[in-house]
Amino acid sequence: MNYFSELGLSQTICEVLEQLGFEKPTPIQEQAIPLLLQHHTTDFIGLAQTGTGKTAAFGLPLIELMNEDQKTTQAIIMSPTRELGQQTAKQIDEFVVRHKKLNVEVVYGGVDITRQIKALKKPTQIVVATPGRLIDLMKRKAISLSDVKYVVLDEADEMLNMGFKEDIDEIISHTQEDRAIWLFSATMPREIRGIIDKYMSNPHEVSVDAGQKSNKDISHEYVVTKSANKLAAVRRFLDIQPDMRGIMFCRTKRETQEIADQFSTWGYGVEALHGDLSQNQRDAVMKRFKSRSMQLLIATDVAARGIDVNDLTHVFHHTLPDQLDSYTHRSGRTGRAGKKGISLAFINPREGRKIKDLERKIKVNFELVEVPNKKQMKYSRLNHWSKLILQTKVAQDVEEIIANLDQDLVNLSQKELLERLITLQLDHLSTDGAGGEPNDLNEETGQAQRNEERNKPSDPNADQRFFINVGEIDGVTKADLIHFVTDVANIDSKKINQVDVKKNCSFFYVDKAEKKGFAEKFDGIMVNERAIRVNEDHDGPPQRRPRKEFNHGGGGASNFGRKRRNDRPKSRSRRR
């Protein structure tokens, strides 16, 4: 089957699809639509990767099966998030453009419920809803499910991951027993089977690419770099591919915001999307992202659920998810509608096993790629700059301007002028990051390679990154850490840069002139009976050293963040 007209759809629907640019059904549409039209009273399970056209697979049959003269709700479509619900309703609205009596409403939390109650007073045959808001409307008698013949569970695995199991049970219990349940999901966890066993009877099942859960149009890649260098590595990929547009996934809301803030300070078009944002803020972020006013959206898994943005070239994984099935949902944001996409994971040298687990579980091969070095970044930026020049339209009064320019400039040869322009542009290009960033950010997996790297002599002309075992849980701020380190090492604070305070440790760079013997200055230093450890950062464990006592004006590591400058000791002393 190559055309929608052969799937059993009406001529009216086929004409609408043609106007919308739908030419050929996707595999899930090709298999699901005829089944749902012919056996619409039977339960149905559709398994397909995110972004493969599941909305049309259930939306088109629903439209054909609706009784336009019946004013009550005949179908409900449950979505895990507001964003997905809106997108589903929008697409079905496009399909019903010639069905004047059919009305589709979408309801979700986070907005004024009274407007949705008012909207539902109109004859509404299809309701798209998030589970929580649908239950609220049911309790307020704003909607009745007594005439519902079709219950669609869209992205069912995501709804269960978000804790909607009890809500789904509640909603289904208010529908008639002979209703049909159509369940669509990218994966089939045990909880989904529980719903099937409880509510469905001899369902038809369609599985697209069951042996390979990942879209064939997605290239799966990974880089190996130190955890502390991940953002620098991401920045290099953004620089070398300025037309890149994607989503980067992070574990926590805090991490998401901190990373977005860091990239913003570097001048990149990025924004964060996480659960601490209000609904208005989320809508504003998504509007800017869809309008292409930013290059990278940095999001948590929960916040990104339901996002459907076309033409994403990349999905970045700052940290791989704990649940491997989540990787399928993440990577499915790219490689849609027949277009190619890249899913790129940033792992540290200890995480090679995670890649092997993913390869085995989702049956794809991951390709190891290199983080671009500084020379590659420089050439990439210069080529991007040259393309901008080539694309620039010449001003109408350019001849007059040239006539009034300094003749020494006008008389330069083409080669001389190009050399000076390139040199001037190089002055504006920083490939060193925020100071002393290594040229090569690539690492190797495995303990042997890490030991080899740790034993390599350091570059005598580069700043050195150091680890210290105090962090945010000790009340430490960047300023406090700088004061403490400079007091102990007896060096100028200007020699310390790129301070990065983590939860239970911190990192900082020391000027190349001071790095020799720097860590030894902290040998045996103790604060409130706690050993302070400092060592060069090679992603390895800190060295143990003999204990000595450091008198820090009566304070301890837990008081770093509460000290005033004049409370710090002017010089350091040790007590054995």
User: Rounded to whole angstroms, how far apart are CA atoms 536 and 36?
Assistant: 63
Give the strand pairing for 314-317 and 246-250.
Answer: parallel
SS3 535: strand
Beta bridge partners of 76: 127, 151
Domains of the chain in start order, with CATH, are 4-207 (3.40.50.300), 218-368 (3.40.50.300), 374-428 (no CATH), 457-575 (3.30.70.330)
Give per-residue burial for 207-245: e unless 16+ CB within 10 Å, then b: ebbeeebbbeebbbebbbbbbbbbbbbbbbbbbbbeebb
Mean pLDDT of 484-501: 88
- What are the C-alpha distances in Å from 11 to residues 4, 125, 302? 9, 21, 40
pLDDT class of 242 with cuts at 50, 70, 90: confident
Cα-flanking dihedrals φ and ψ of residue 314, to 5°? -140, 150
What end-to-end distance do the CA atoms of the chain give, in Å? Answer: 84
Task: Report the chain's mean pLDDT, rounded to a whole number.
Answer: 82
pLDDT reading at 110 higher than 90? no
pLDDT given at position 124 = 95
The more confidently predicted of residues 526 and 284 is 284
Which tens digits make up the pLDDT trace of 378-425?
Answer: 787 788 788 888 888 888 888 888 888 888 888 888 888 888 888 887
Q: pLDDT class for 59, splitting at 50, 70, 90? A: very high
β-bridge mates for residue 542, sequence order = none
The answer to whether the CB of 422 falls within 8 A of the CB of 382 is yes
Q: Assign 452 a pLDDT band (cuts: 50, 70, 90).
A: very low
Strands (E), 30-178: 44-47, 75-78, 104-107, 126-129, 150-153
Mean pLDDT to the nearest integer, 135-150: 96
For residues 284 and 297, what is the distance between their CA atoms, to the nearest angstrom? 12
For residue range 82-93, list pLDDT tens digits in order.
Answer: 888 988 999 999
- pLDDT value of position 554: 39
Q: Give me the residues paired with residue 220 across strands.
A: 343
Alpha helices in 392-413 (DSSP H): 398-403, 407-410
Instruction: Using alpha carbons, list the distances in angstroms from residue 525 to 349, 408, 531, 556.
Output: 30, 63, 6, 12
pTM above 0.75, yes or no: no
**Size of the chain, expressed as the number of residues it contains:** 576
pLDDT digits (tens, 9 = 90+) for 499-550: 888 877 888 899 888 888 898 898 888 776 678 888 887 553 343 334 444 4
Q: Kindly report, residue by residue over 256-277, the tens digit of the pLDDT.
A: 999 999 999 888 889 999 888 8
> pLDDT at residue 47 above 60?
yes
- Residue 428: pLDDT band (50, 70, 90) is low
Q: Does 20 score more than 80 pLDDT?
A: yes
Q: Is residue 67 a contact partner of residue 74, using CB atoms and an 8 Å limit?
A: yes
Residue 126 above 50 pLDDT?
yes
pLDDT in tens, 144-197: 999 999 999 998 988 887 789 999 999 999 999 999 999 998 878 788 888 899
